Amino acid sequence: MVDTMALLHTFTRASRVREKSGAARPGVLVLPADAEVLLDAPDEVLGPVLVGAAAGDPAPAAGLLAATRHRGAWEHRDRYVRQLAVFARSRPEWLDTWRAHDPHSPDGLLVDAQRAVHRAWDSPARAELLREVTPLITAAARADHRDPVPWRLALDHARGARAGHQYFQELWEAAVRRAPHHYGCHVAALRYLSSSWHGAHLECFDFADQAAQDAPDGSLTQALPLRAAFGYLTDGGGAEVPRERLDAAADRALALSARLPAAHPRPACLRNLLAYVLLRLERRPEALEQLRLTGPYATSTPWDREAEDPLGRFLEVRRGLYEAVAAGPAAASPAGSRHPRSERGRRARSGDH
């Protein structure tokens, strides 16, 4: 259970670390101390909302999500819904209160639906439980017809329930009508392709590359080929993907990372994933630079692919990279560096959705 004061401490500590991280001299590689690194930290907007939720008050969450819906800030909305749903699994009181007092709220419905999918996904009876969640997702989608986030959730739900291709295609078309370049919907579609045609990595790359080419500059969908590369590098079997396609995916993500603020929690997932892929491609100096840019913000994905303790794995990889890069090109590969085609799929996660 999350203590309110502990959560507030984490939020304020994250703000202080962010201020310190920006003080490094240009050209000097400075990494935050291990003790300063935070795992899956909320940003400065979500932090106070989680403090309110920990105290049992749903009003800050309701206000935040209503604002994202009114502004059409769909990427922010998607991220906050996921994080709030994760929080509600261990501290459900605030969400249950919200749902009881305002059962038709588009925002409360959406968080509740995301929580239900999370809960079902971790069960051995996943497909059956997910089918029971369908009415809640449908209600969330009908509550605001402009919102693509319920459709992203429906795409995830369809994959877990092993829905047929025609049904998934109908969901996909409904999603992209609302937001043609929504990153979450594209990730959901990429995962469906990967799970439906196991080993069809080239097809996944074709989909991801086309989506990235069509997306506006600065859109998170520019990182979709990186997701395809990650899927290939962590999956056993399937056709070999040419090295140049893996490098091109990493290069596109590097260009996106360069446009985003350093030492901030919002781009942390992109940079952690990019560092992992660069490491697997043995592009160690670039991987270390992404870990510098992410500052004190580690994310569970991708490090929980390899260890029960993702923060510990992040710190281990960071130390190994720093030592290897400092020692020069002749240094041995750091901990966790592997050839792209070796040891794929070392650890599967039941909750990867």
Single out the residue in 185, 218, 240 at which a domain terminates: 185
Pair (243, 174) in one structural domain: no
Assigned token pair, 284: 């160690």
Looking at the fold, whether 237 and 322 belong to one and the same domain comes out as: yes
Is the domain of 112 the same as that of 179? yes
CA distances from 168 to 78, 81, 142, 194, 330 (A): 20, 22, 18, 13, 49
* 22 in a structural domain: no
Query: Does 291 lie in the same domain as 150?
Result: no
Is residue 305 pLDDT above 90, yes or no?
yes
Does residue 206 sit in the same domain as residue 323? Answer: yes
Looking at the domain assignment, is residue 26 inside a domain?
Answer: no
Of 104, 12, 19, nearest to 51 (Cα)?
Answer: 12
Q: How confident is residue 343, by pLDDT bands cut at 50, 70 and 90? A: very low
Q: Which domain-ending residue is among 185, 213, 237?
A: 185
How many structural domains are present in the chain? Answer: 2
For residues 231 and 277, give the distance between their C-alpha atoms in angstroms, rounded to a whole number. Answer: 10
Higher pLDDT, 31 or 350: 31
For the chain, the distance separating the N- and C-terminal CA atoms, rounded to the nearest angstrom, is: 23
Res 196: pLDDT: 83
Boundary-marking domain end, from 130, 152, 185: 185
In a domain, 291, yes or no: yes
Tell me: do 7 and 130 sit in the same domain.
yes
For Cα atoms 6, 10, 14, give the angle at the middle one, nearest 5 degrees: 170
- Token readout for 136 is 């809640």
- Could you read off the pLDDT of 261-304 as tens digits, one per residue? 999 999 999 999 999 999 999 999 999 999 999 999 999 999 99
* Confidence label for 235 from pLDDT (cuts 50, 70 and 90): confident
Same domain membership, residue 180 and residue 202: no
Say whether both 111 and 231 belong to one domain: no
Tell me whether residue 14 is exposed, middle or buried, using C-beta atoms within 10 angstroms of its C-beta: 0 to 12, 13 to 18, 19 or more. buried
214 and 158 in a common domain: no
Distance CA 32, CA 297 (A): 10
Residue 353: other Cβ atoms inside 10 A: 17
- Report the SS3 class of residue 349: coil
* Whether residues 105 and 143 fall in one domain: yes
Residues facing residue 39 across a β-bridge? 298
3-state secondary structure of 298: strand
Residue carrying structure tokens 């991280």: 21
Q: What is the pLDDT of residue 330?
A: 56
Which residues form the domain of 248? Answer: 197-353
Identify whether 323 is part of a domain.
Answer: yes
Here the tokens at position 128 are 């059956």
Task: Evaluate whether residue 210 is within a structural domain.
Answer: yes
DSSP string of 64-88, one letter each residue: HHHHHHHHT-HHHHHHHHHHHHHHH
Does residue 5 or residue 255 have the better pLDDT?
255
Q: Tell me, yes or no, whether 203 and 338 share the same domain.
A: yes
pLDDT in tens, 121-177: 988 899 889 989 999 999 999 999 999 999 999 999 999 998 999 999 999 999 999
CB within 8 Å of 95: residues ≥ 6 apart: 53, 58, 61, 84, 88, 108, 111, 112, 115
Domain assignment present for 248: yes
Query: In terms of domains, do 229 and 300 share one?
Result: yes
pLDDT at 185 over 50: yes
Q: Which of 54-58, 228-232, 239-243 has the lowest mean pLDDT?
A: 239-243
Residue 25 has pLDDT above 50, yes or no: no
- Crossing angle for the helix pair 284-294 and 310-327, to the nearest 10 degrees: 130
The pLDDT mean for the chain works out to 88
Q: Are the C-beta atoms of residues 56 and 96 closer than 8 Å to each other?
A: no
